[in-house]
Amino acid sequence: MGPGDLSALLKTIPTRDDENLIVGYDSSDDASVYKLSDDIAVIQTIDFFPSMVEDPYLFGQIAATNALSDVYAMGGEVISALNIVTYPSGDDYDLLGEILRGGASKVHEAGASLSGGHSIHDDTIKYGLSVNGRVHPDRIIRNVGARVGDVLILTKPIGVGIVTTGYKKGKLSQEAFDEACHWMTTLNKHVADVMKHHPITSATDVTGFGLLGHIKEMLGERVSAEIKAEQVPYIKEAYSGAEQALTTGGGKRNRAFLAEHLDFQINDPAMEEVLLDPQTSGGLVISIDEAHSQAFLDELAEKDIFARAIGQVTDRQDKTIIIN
């Protein structure tokens, strides 16, 4: 569902006051957070989708990595997960077993327990997880809170949607597809571990709304940001795929929703498509005060964790995001 449709729908859902519900669906955060005690809050999130790859084990890994990511974006650690599956009746259940094994491998890599799940028959295969995490109530990282002067840091290259679409159509290479799969199965856990040592002001994971869509959520109506297009990393061949119009319906919806909020000062239609491309299991976008940004980047580099500074938060301007 596109960001505009989702926002409109959620406004129609009634809410209930609960002093222990720290983060609910009335905001655009990545997960809900419920306070259990002065020291512990539980993070809850859910995500599942159809396969975008042929290998069932790989699909399970991608779907699980994607579902776990919301907990990391909020500064938490994953503690348990449940499988969610839709599967055609009568199909080869060995295939489903491979999907579940792929998902379990990533849950276990996260140091969490896979404790069950739920399945229903459907015409198409879909898989994902319901995930529980924990965090100290005072150490929750939300996707709002970016301040003027903060540096924006991205922890995975973008372009997954374009590359997987182009590969399916035989237009992009196996090498590019393999790179996309590498990033889609890379947990954001290690980034989250480093985040705990630094004064992060906000963070979110980059998924269906694309890089610019998720940055827009971080900025809200309070501040703007300047993004340096040449500093944004993308998967090999994503740019050439955009030049060949190997884009997705989600990318078109992102452009329509964000049009009034963006000021593209670059004359580069292909790069615009890359920046709007929906991601699956993308990296984190993190805001941190400029004075602390280099120390954060240095620690990530020391631990061999990918990260790039891509822009900076500014005072509110006519447009929410300026791309130059």
The C-alpha atoms of residue 287 and residue 312 are separated, in whole angstroms, by 8
Q: List pLDDT tens digits, range 145-180.
A: 999 999 999 999 999 999 999 999 999 999 999 999
Q: How confident is the model at residue 32 (pLDDT cuts 50, 70, 90)?
A: confident
Count CB atoms within 10 A of the CB of residue 269. 11
For residue 2, the model assigns a pLDDT of: 62
Q: List pLDDT tens digits, range 97-117.
A: 999 999 999 999 999 999 999
For CATH 3.30.1330.10, the residue range(s) in the chain are: 3-139
Which of 20-34, 47-61, 300-314 has the lowest average pLDDT?
20-34
Q: List pLDDT tens digits, range 200-217.
A: 999 999 999 999 999 999
| Residues 6 or more apart in contact with residue 233 via CB below 8 angstroms | 154, 156, 157, 158, 306, 308
The C-alpha atoms of residue 292 and residue 24 are separated, in whole angstroms, by 30
Task: Please compute Rg for the chain using Cα positions.
Answer: 19
Q: Can you tell me the mean pLDDT for 79-92? A: 93
Q: Which fold has domain 3-139?
A: 60s Ribosomal Protein L30; Chain: A; (3.30.1330)
Stronger pLDDT, 139 or 6, i.e. the higher one: 139
Residue 140 φ then ψ, to 5°: -70, 135
Per the CB < 8 A criterion, the answer to whether 225 and 312 are in contact is yes
The C-alpha atoms of residue 69 and residue 131 are separated, in whole angstroms, by 10
Q: Which CATH architecture has domain 151-323?
A: Alpha-Beta Complex (3.90)
Per the CB < 8 A criterion, the answer to whether 77 and 141 are in contact is no
Tell me the CA distances in angstroms from 16 to 19, 132, 142, one per residue in order: 10, 21, 21
Strand duo 113-121 + 77-87: pairing: parallel
Tell me the CA distances in angstroms from 18 to 14, 33, 39, 174, one per residue in order: 13, 12, 18, 50
pTM above 0.85, yes or no: yes
Per the CB < 8 A criterion, the answer to whether 153 and 297 are in contact is yes
pLDDT at 4 over 70: no
pLDDT at 198 over 80: yes
Per the CB < 8 A criterion, the answer to whether 284 and 183 are in contact is no
Find how far residue 101's CA is from the centre of its chain.
Answer: 23
For CATH 3.90.650.10, the residue range(s) in the chain are: 151-323
pLDDT at 90 over 90: no
The residue type of 41 is A
